[in-house]
Amino acid sequence: MQFELKNVSKVYETGQENITYGAKNINLTIREGDFMALVGPSGSGKTTLLNLIAGLLAPSTGEVFHKGEDITHLTLEERTKHRLDYMGFVFQDYQLLPVLTAYENVEFPLQLKNIDKEEIKERVLWALDQVGLASFKDRFPKQLSGGQQQRVSIARAIACRPSLILADEPTANLDSKTSQEIIDLFKKLNSEFNLTFIFSTHDQRLIDQVKTVLYIKDGQIADQKEH
């Protein structure tokens, strides 16, 4: 078992006497190799749930475990290290640094880790090769298409050798053909490396191709479907 959320809730303070539940009594087990989509209307709590799994948000109540270890109460610094060691992130808007080349964007988070230079280089080239962009390594983001930029961001995520990738609406800015290419890449990484993926998405194409769909409503898991 990889990640486990036990009775996790997240309350947002939204002004005097107003509170919003971003997540409510969530119980969820994420296993090695899961390929899962969080689906639900805008404001239902998908991003909140991803952020709780990532440790970017601390739960108001409940606990999060990783490999049996309670990670709910780690310090900010410990949580950052935990994220860097185990998780990769992919976003709707790619979040590449515009002044860095594709190579340098992938290299950047690796430099925050204690890895020697030769290994960093190997990992960057390996990751860019995995996403089919080896020959584009010296291009800047603005010289790449949206789909290619998303590939760079996927390379950046996998170069850190995470066990889990969290992807918030990864295909939302892509046309349907490019979307499918990116989904195929996720599937390849999932089956070749047993890499776990959790998506938040409105993209029916992606929803149809995941193994598990979690329907989120009002911060709760309303339903679950296996494909």
Ligand X SMILES: Nc1ncnc2c1ncn2[C@@H]1O[C@H](COP(=O)(O)OP(=O)(O)OP(=O)(O)O)[C@@H](O)[C@H]1O
In sequence order, the 6+-apart residues with CB closer than 8 A to the CB of 144 are 102, 136, 152
Judged by CB under 6 A, which stretch of 40-48, 69-77, 111-119, 153-161 contacts ligand X? 40-48
Give residue for tokens 């610094």: 77
Give residue for tokens 């990640």: 3
Distance CA(196)–CA(154), nearest Å, equals 13
Tell me if 64 sits within 8 A of 4, measured CB to CB: yes
Q: Does 220 bind ligand X (CB under 6 A)?
A: no
The dihedral over CA atoms of 111, 92, 192, 97, expressed in degrees to the nearest 10, equals -20
Which residues, numbered 36-65, are part of the site for Mg ion (CB under 5 A)? Answer: 46-47
Q: Does 132 bind ligand X (CB under 6 A)?
A: no
Options 35, 36, 48, 152; binder of ligand X; rule CB under 6 A: 48
Query: Binding marks (x or -) toward ligand X, 11..30, rule CB under 6 A?
Result: -x-x-----x-x--------
Considering beta carbons, is residue 57 or 110 the nearer one to ligand X? 57
Judged by CB under 6 A, which stretch of 38-46, 99-107, 108-116, 176-184 contacts ligand X? 38-46
Q: Record the tokens describing residue 159, joined without a space.
A: 């170069």
State the residues that interact with Mg ion by CB under 5 A.
46-47
